[in-house]
């Protein structure tokens, strides 16, 4: 992959490319890009964990909430998952709904939209026993979207531009053919427009990622939704948080075999690259596309609202590795402050859906 990148950059009119182009190739090159290669990515033998890989309780909590939404709101009985990784959330959601509400399960359609052939293959094999699951490669090939549409850690995997403010000038950070950074005065009008729309003012020395690809995808997504609830689970910052000193150097990182790398211009094609998402970009663009923001919470609060504590079991099984014990431990990891969920937020938006009595979540005993 490194050779391909170097020769691609050398062949350009200018001797550099944007970070967005670098990430497009390093992550999504059809043959050697990270997400298209056959190496394990998620879980113990991969490079990173996601909440769904911890245990099935994450998917079960979502399933519990989805049952509530289908029962209380007029939503088409269709769940659409974007970027489903190994397919473990889909599996847990479907198993839970089948177990709890067979009538709903029999009417339900579940569509996975997944661009990576590697992950598509994994999903198909894990979900092969479900006849109501459909697989689609990209958002473009679907007409309208009606139902519950959700993603977990999709948007943080989108390529980003990188800009930096230095000595009063805003630069775009470029990548040269020897895979080093070069600062070029910002000329991209789309980035300038993004900064203006989001009222993002960089301070001296600040570096930030600009998620134009995410915004483009998200706008297409919003246009396609005609009736539904959109749930985005990810790590990100609000505009206020981007102003904090601790985030002044941006958030672009690499993950390789569970170690974090600040220099993302190494291990191209072997390493996951990720940046914190811009929550305000989703809110502002969603509003323009007639989506209402219903709720924005930390993931642990969201899971408590879904009723995750009702998944706790009072087991007397002496085996500490039994399903019940594993689930109980995972619930604790998912809800305890300072653990995995405190890094994640959940944005819930709706289009043409009435939430009866503002009853977005089931009433649970906490
Ligand atoms: C970080 S992984 C998260 C996987 C999963 N949601 C989970 O919780 O384990 C990102 C997933 O999004 C997929 N992906 C990336 N870009 C995509 C796109 N434009 N359309 C659909 N899937 C995409 C990747 O192949 C991968 O399956």
Highest mean pLDDT among 44-58, 196-210, 350-364: 196-210
* Position 255 pLDDT exceeds 60: yes
pTM of structure: 0.95
| Mean pLDDT, residues 260-285 taken together | 94
Where does the pLDDT of residue 364 fall: very low under 50, low under 70, confident under 90, or very high at 90 and above? low
**Tens-place pLDDT, residues 155-186:** 999 999 999 999 999 999 999 999 999 999 99
Q: Which residue has the higher pLDDT, 53 or 347?
A: 347
The full DSSP string for 117-148 is: HHHHHHHHHHTTT-TTEEEES-GGG---EEEE
Of 304, 329, 341, nearest to 61 (Cα)? 304
Residue 90 CB less than 6 A away from ligand 1: no
User: Atom 20 in ligand 1: which residue has the minimum CA distance?
Assistant: 115
Residue 157 CB less than 6 A away from ligand 1: yes
For the chain, first and last CA: distance in Å? 50
Where does the pLDDT of residue 303 fall: very low under 50, low under 70, confident under 90, or very high at 90 and above? very high
User: Atom 4 in ligand 1: which residue has the minimum CA distance?
Assistant: 85
* Position 366 pLDDT exceeds 70: no
How much of the chain exceeds pLDDT 70, in percent?
99
Residue 23 CB less than 6 A away from ligand 1: no
Where does the pLDDT of residue 358 fall: very low under 50, low under 70, confident under 90, or very high at 90 and above? confident
Where does the pLDDT of residue 322 fall: very low under 50, low under 70, confident under 90, or very high at 90 and above? confident
Residue 84 CB less than 6 A away from ligand 1: yes
What are the φ/ψ torsions at residue 92 (nearest 5 degrees)? Answer: -70, -40
Q: How far apart are CA 338 and CA 300, in angstroms?
A: 10
> What's residue 278's pLDDT?
97
Q: What is the DSSP letter of 87?
A: S
C-alpha 82 to ligand 1 mean position (Å): 7
Provide the mean pLDDT of the chain: 93
Residue 64 CB less than 6 A away from ligand 1: no
* Lowest-pLDDT range of 34-48, 102-116, 297-311: 34-48
Q: Which residue has the higher pLDDT, 28 or 317?
A: 28
Q: Which residue among 23, 47, 53, 83 is best mutated to probe the pocket of ligand 1, counting the most ligand atoms within 8 A of its Cβ? A: 83
The full DSSP string for 12-60 is: SSSSEEEHHHHHHHHHH-TTTSGGGSSS--BSTTSSB--HHHH-THHHH
- CA-53 nearest atom, ligand 1: 9
Q: Which residue among 39, 81, 86, 115 is best mutated to probe the pocket of ligand 1, counting the most ligand atoms within 8 A of its Cβ? A: 115
Pairing of strands 161-166, 169-176: antiparallel
Q: Each residue of 226-259: b (16+ CB within 10 Å) or e?
A: eebbbbbbbbbbebeebeeeeebebbbbbbbeee
| Mean pLDDT, residues 20-45 taken together | 90
Cβ atoms of residues 261 and 327 within 8 Å: no
Where does the pLDDT of residue 315 fall: very low under 50, low under 70, confident under 90, or very high at 90 and above? confident
Task: Kindly list the strands in the beta sheet with 259-261, ordered across the sheet, starting from the edge strand earlier in the chain.
Answer: 259-261, 253-256, 272-274
Q: How far apart are CA 68 and CA 64, in angstroms?
A: 7
| Mean pLDDT, residues 218-245 taken together | 96
Q: How far apart are CA 252 and CA 31, in angstroms?
A: 23
Where does the pLDDT of residue 60 fall: very low under 50, low under 70, confident under 90, or very high at 90 and above? very high
Residue 87 CB less than 6 A away from ligand 1: no
């Amino acid at each position: 992959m490194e050779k391909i990148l170097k020769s691609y950059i050398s062949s350009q009119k200018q001797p550099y490319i944007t970070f967005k182009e670098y990430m497009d190739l390093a992550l999504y090159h059809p043959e050697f890009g990270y997400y298209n290669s056959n190496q394990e990515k998620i879980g113990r033998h991969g490079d990173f964990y996601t909440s769904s890989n911890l245990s099935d309780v994450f998917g079960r909590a979502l399933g519990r909430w989805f049952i509530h939404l289908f029962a209380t709101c007029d939503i088409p009985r269709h769940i659409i998952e974007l970027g489903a990784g190994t397919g473990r959330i889909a599996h847990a959601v479907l198993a839970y709904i089948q177990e709890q509400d067979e009538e709903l399960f029999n009417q339900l359609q579940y569509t996975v939209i997944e661009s990576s052939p590697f992950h598509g293959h994994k999903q198909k094999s894990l979900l092969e026993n479900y006849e109501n699951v459909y697989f689609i490669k990209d958002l473009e090939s679907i007409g309208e979207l009606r139902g519950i549409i959700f993603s977990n850690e999709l948007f943080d995997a989108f390529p980003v531009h990188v800009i930096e403010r230095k000595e009063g000038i805003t630069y775009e950070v470029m990548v040269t053919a020897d895979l080093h950074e070069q600062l070029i005065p910002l000329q991209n009008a789309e980035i300038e427009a993004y900064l203006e729309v989001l009222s993002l003012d960089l301070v001296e020395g600040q570096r930030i990622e600009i998620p134009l690809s995410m915004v483009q995808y998200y706008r297409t997504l919003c246009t396609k939704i005609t009736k539904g609830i959109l749930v985005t689970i990810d790590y990100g910052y609000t505009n206020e948080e981007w102003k904090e000193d601790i985030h002044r150097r941006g958030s672009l990182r690499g993950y390789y075999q569970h170690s974090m790398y600040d220099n993302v211009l190494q291990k191209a094609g072997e390493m996951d690259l990720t940046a914190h998402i811009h929550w305000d970009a989703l809110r502002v663009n969603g509003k323009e596309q007639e989506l209402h923001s219903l709720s924005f919470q930390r993931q642990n609060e969201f899971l408590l609202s879904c009723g995750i504590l009702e998944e706790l079991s009072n087991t007397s099984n002496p085996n500490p590795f039994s399903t019940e014990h594993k689930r109980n431990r995972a619930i604790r990891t998912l809800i305890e402050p300072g653990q995995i969920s405190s890094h994640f937020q959940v944005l819930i938006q709706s289009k043409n859906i009435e939430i009866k009595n503002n009853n977005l979540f089931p009433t649970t005993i906490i």
